[in-house]
């Protein structure tokens, strides 16, 4: 690792992980699209499954290393592993630290693949014990701890309810019981929230979202101490093959440079739009951690420096009208994902299998809105014209 760490986050976004290219003098490290690297003259003692040396792109690539250096600095961690997707990062953590005689406590509001893995796949195929709890309630976590609990996994803000969990207090509970704490911090990014400094052991990101920020490359990362990250590298990359393409690592490295500027704009616009929605008579509820009405607003203010760009809300309308609203939008695009430059919206109807975990107001379906980098005036005008078309 090149250990260039500046005291200001925004300077690290520009410089961390970058260097002068030794061969050409280019002031940017190049893309290395190669599957294999030349072996040393004496390869007999090489650790073929090692992840510190460049041997084969599945076991580590040059561009992956540069991005790992950048993200470790941005999260204030010792080491980082970058993988093909956010889900590869999450499953990498679960497969590395859970065994068939172990137990995990996980948030009951989480990314859908996590829910599926932990609710069906792990218990059914591997006999791993899983307890899903409301991680905004510390007592529920304490009550769920068993002698074989190995991991507590939280997501804050949670997708899609934007529920906030107290990283510092949960880390105290985990430490006292000798359990690892992993935090999916995708919605916040290291610009707004630093889980390791609050006591978490592992921070997980879908790089696909805000860190790349441009909706054109998928990736995932886990940041933590070297011992833990080394274990994940060997499992998730070398043995399970969830390695990132060098080109995607390069794109994400480039996107991450402007992370602070983008997060400022996403957060500022989203707060304004959330306030606009909350004041609208056509809107049944708004969930955004920056609103005073959010149940964990005070906690969000404590552990985040702003509230990012995802808002969930509902209309005082039926399923058909929700669909009509989405289809009437002209600027905002109906598509999954969050954290892109363009505004994206998804309507999830009341048939969502996780509905029973959601707060009551979500139970008739909800709109998850990722506020993009367009002018907030244009976004609000688009919502207004779509509501008008729906006679709301």
Ligand X SMILES: *Cc1c(COP(=O)(O)O)cnc(C)c1O
Would residue 287 be called left, alpha or beta, if left means φ above 0 and alpha means ψ between -120 and 50 degrees?
beta
Measured from the Cβ of residue 346, the count of other Cβ atoms closer than 10 Å reads 18
CB of 207 to ligand X, least distance (A): 7
CB of 237 to ligand X, least distance (A): 15
Residue with tokens 């460049």: 54
Q: Are 92 and 233 in contact (CB under 8 A)?
A: no
CB of 46 to ligand X, least distance (A): 32
Residues in touch with ligand X (CB under 6 A): 85-87, 111, 155, 159, 184, 186-187, 206, 208-209, 218, 220, 338
Length of the chain as a residue count: 392
Would residue 235 be called left, alpha or beta, if left means φ above 0 and alpha means ψ between -120 and 50 degrees?
alpha
Torsion angle in degrees (nearest 10) through CA of 331, 334, 336, 338: 20
Whose Cβ is closer to ligand X: residue 55's or residue 256's?
256
Whose Cβ is closer to ligand X: residue 290's or residue 390's?
290
Whose Cβ is closer to ligand X: residue 280's or residue 308's?
308
In the bound state, the residue with its beta carbon closest to ligand X is 86
CB of 219 to ligand X, least distance (A): 7
Whose Cβ is closer to ligand X: residue 17's or residue 86's?
86
- Structure-block tokens of residue 186: 């995708």
Closest C-alpha among 159, 156, 383, 369 to residue 266:
369
CB of 309 to ligand X, least distance (A): 12
Whose Cβ is closer to ligand X: residue 270's or residue 386's?
270
Looking at the chain, list the stretches that DSSP marks H as alpha helix, in order from N- to C-terminal side: 9-15, 62-75, 86-97, 112-116, 122-126, 138-144, 167-176, 189-192, 226-232, 246-256, 259-279, 297-303, 319-328, 376-389
CB of 112 to ligand X, least distance (A): 9
Residues 6+ apart with CB under 8 A from 26: 20
CB of 249 to ligand X, least distance (A): 13
CB of 337 to ligand X, least distance (A): 7
Sign of CA pseudo-dihedral 259, 261, 263, 269: negative
Whose Cβ is closer to ligand X: residue 19's or residue 342's?
342
Whose Cβ is closer to ligand X: residue 149's or residue 182's?
182
Whose Cβ is closer to ligand X: residue 209's or residue 354's?
209
């Amino acid at each position: 690792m090149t250990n260039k760490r500046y005291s200001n986050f925004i300077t690290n976004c520009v410089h961390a992980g970058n260097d002068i290219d030794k061969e050409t003098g280019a002031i940017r490290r190049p893309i290395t699209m190669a599957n294999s690297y030349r072996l040393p003259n004496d390869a007999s003692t090489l650790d073929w499954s090692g992840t510190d040396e460049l041997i084969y792109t599945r076991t580590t690539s040059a561009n992956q290393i540069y991005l790992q250096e950048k993200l470790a600095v941005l999260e204030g961690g010792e080491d980082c592993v970058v993988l093909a997707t956010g889900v590869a990062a999450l499953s990498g953590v679960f497969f590395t630290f859970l065994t068939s005689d172990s137990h995990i406590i996980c948030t009951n509001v989480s990314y859908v693949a996590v829910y599926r893995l932990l609710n069906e796949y792990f218990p059914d195929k591997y006999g791993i014990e899983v307890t899903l709890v409301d991680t905004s309630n510390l007592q529920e976590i304490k009550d769920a701890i068993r002698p074989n609990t190995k991991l507590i996994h939280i997501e804050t803000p949670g997708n899609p309810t934007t529920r906030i969990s107290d990283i510092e207090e949960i880390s105290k509970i985990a430490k006292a019981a000798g359990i690892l704490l992993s935090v999916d911090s995708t919605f916040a990014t290291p610009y707004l929230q630093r889980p390791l400094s609050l006591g978490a052991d592992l921070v997980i990101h879908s790089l696909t979202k805000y860190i790349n920020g441009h909706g054109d490359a998928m990736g995932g990362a886990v940041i933590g101490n070297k011992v833990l990250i080394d274990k994940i590298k060997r499992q998730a990359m070398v043995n399970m093959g969830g390695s990132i393409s060098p080109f995607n690592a390069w794109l994400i490295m480039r996107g991450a440079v402007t992370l602070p500027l983008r997060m400022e704009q996403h957060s500022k616009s989203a707060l304004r739009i959330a306030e606009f929605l909350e004041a609208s008579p056509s809107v049944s509820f708004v969930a955004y951690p920056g609103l005073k009405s959010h149940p964990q607003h005070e906690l969000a203010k404590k552990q985040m420096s702003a509230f990012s760009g995802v808002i969930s809300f509902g209309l005082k309308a039926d399923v058909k009208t929700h669909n009509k609203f989405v289809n009437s939008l002209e600027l905002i695009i109906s598509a999954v994902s969050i954290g892109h430059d363009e505004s994206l919206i998804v309507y999830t109807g009341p048939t969502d299998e996780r509905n029973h975990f959601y707060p009551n107001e979500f139970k008739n379906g909800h709109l998850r809105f990722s506020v993009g980098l367009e002018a907030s005036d244009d976004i609000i005008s688009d919502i207004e014209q779509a509501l008008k078309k729906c006679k709301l």
